[in-house]
Amino acid sequence: MSPVYFENTFDRLCEAYGKSSIRSKRVCIVCDTNTAPYYAEAVEKAVSGSFDEVYTFAFKAGEEYKNLSSIEELYAFLLEHDFDRRDSLLALGGGVVGDMTGFAAATYKRGIPFVQVPTTLLAQVDSSIGGKTGVDFMGYKNMVGAFHMPEFVYENPTVLKTLDDDQFASGMGEVLKSALLADEEFFEWILDNMDGITDHEPQTILEMVRRTANIKLSIVERDPTEKGERALLNLGHTIGHAIEKYMNFSMPHGKCVALGCIAAAAISEKRGLLDTAELFEIRDMCVAFDLPMFADGINNAEILSITKSDKKMAAGRIRFILLDRIGHAFICDDLTDEELLAGIKFINGDEISYED
C-alpha cells in the first residue's frame, strides 16, 4: 500500500521522493487551471531538488473536462517532451486531477509511476488514496478507469485554506461517510469538535484529515482491488452518483454523497437496522457542515433508473451499502426497487412514515 505523509508544508516532498522507488530525472506536475496559480510554483520549487527537469501541465478545471479528450491532451504533452517509462507524474489538485493523472499514468506507455499531492479536503480524505483512477464517459462517472497505485500520497492540510465553502462542505460529505461506515468513536469526535472543524482550526483539521484517511487506508490495504470489503467505501455513492448525473454534475460530489448516505440510512431504518433517532441524527448532522438534507425537485423514477445503470451492478443486482449501526456498514445484495425508491423519496422531502 502506498505510504501517506501528513505535513503542513511542501518542504518535505523531496524527502518523500527519497523514500520512494522513483529514480527518474524528470517529472511532470499535472494540475488544473484553478490549482496552478495557487500551488504549482511552490511544488515546482519543492521537487526541484529531486529532479533535473520539472514540467507543468494544466487541464481546464471542472468535472466536464474529466474525459478522454483531456487525457489525450496530456498524452500529447508527454510525447512532445519525450517522457518515457522512467519518468513520472505528480497529481496536484483535487479528485478530478488525481483521477485523471492516475489514469494517464496507468496507460501512458503501459504505465509510469506517479504521486498524489491532493489540494482539496475531498481528495485528501478519499480520492487520492487507494489507486482508483478514471474518467467519465457518456455521462457516467468514472466509467473508464484502472487501478494504479501512487508511489506515495503527500497531504498538506494547510492548502485547504484556499478552498471555498462549497468545496470544503463537499469534503465533509466524505468525512461523515467514512465515520458512518467504520468508526462510531470518530463520528462522536466530529460531533464534539464541530466548532473547531467549522472554524478551520489547524490542528483539528489535521486530526480529522488523518483519521478519515486512515479509515480508507486500512480498508484498501485489506482489499486493494475491491473484491470484497472495499465496496463498503461506496456508502452513499450509488444514489449519490445518480443525483450527480441527474443534476449534470452541478452539485459537488461530496454533497451528493451526503444525500446518498441519508437515503441509505433511511433504507436501513426502514429495515429496522437503525432506530429513527439515529436516522435523524445522521440527517441533521449534515446541516452543521453546510451539506444538504434534501434534493428537492428530483424526479424519483429517473434517479431510480440511473441507479440501475451504476457500474456497481453485479448479475443484475445493485451492490448497495447499508448501515446496521452508526460506525458499521455492510454489503446488501437483495435491495428491492421499492426500498431504493423509498430512500430516494426520503431525500426528496416526501412525507413518509418510518415507524410503520
What region, left, alpha or beta, does residue 327 occupy, with left being phi > 0 and alpha being psi -120 to 50 degrees? Answer: left
Query: b/e per residue, 99-126, with b = 16+ CB within 10 A?
Result: bbbbbbbbbbeeebbbbbbbbbbbbbbb
Residue numbers in the chain where pLDDT is lower than 50: 353-356
What would the grid cell of residue 276 be?
429513527
CB atoms under 10 Å from CB of 286, counted, come to 21
Longest dimension (CA), the chain: 68
CATH classification (class only), 165-347: mainly alpha
Give the separation between CA 1 and CA 34, rounded to whole angstroms.
30
State residue 180's pLDDT score.
Answer: 98
Residue with cell 485554506: 161
CATH topology of 4-161 equal to that of 165-347? no
**Model confidence over 36-58: pLDDT tens digits?**
999 999 999 999 999 999 999 99
State residue 354's pLDDT score.
Answer: 45
**Model confidence over 281-338: pLDDT tens digits?**
999 999 999 999 999 889 999 999 999 876 555 556 788 999 999 999 999 999 999 9
State residue 8's pLDDT score.
Answer: 87
Burial environment of residue 162 by CB neighbours within 10 A (0 to 12, 13 to 18, 19 or more): middle
Burial environment of residue 43 by CB neighbours within 10 A (0 to 12, 13 to 18, 19 or more): buried
State residue 310's pLDDT score.
Answer: 66
Closest CA to 126 of 191, 75, 182, 61: 182
225's CB contacts (< 8 A; 6+ apart) are 147
* Every domain of the chain and the residues it spans: 4-161, 165-347
State residue 311's pLDDT score.
Answer: 57
State residue 24's pLDDT score.
Answer: 87
Q: Which fold has domain 4-161?
A: Rossmann fold (3.40.50)
State residue 141's pLDDT score.
Answer: 78
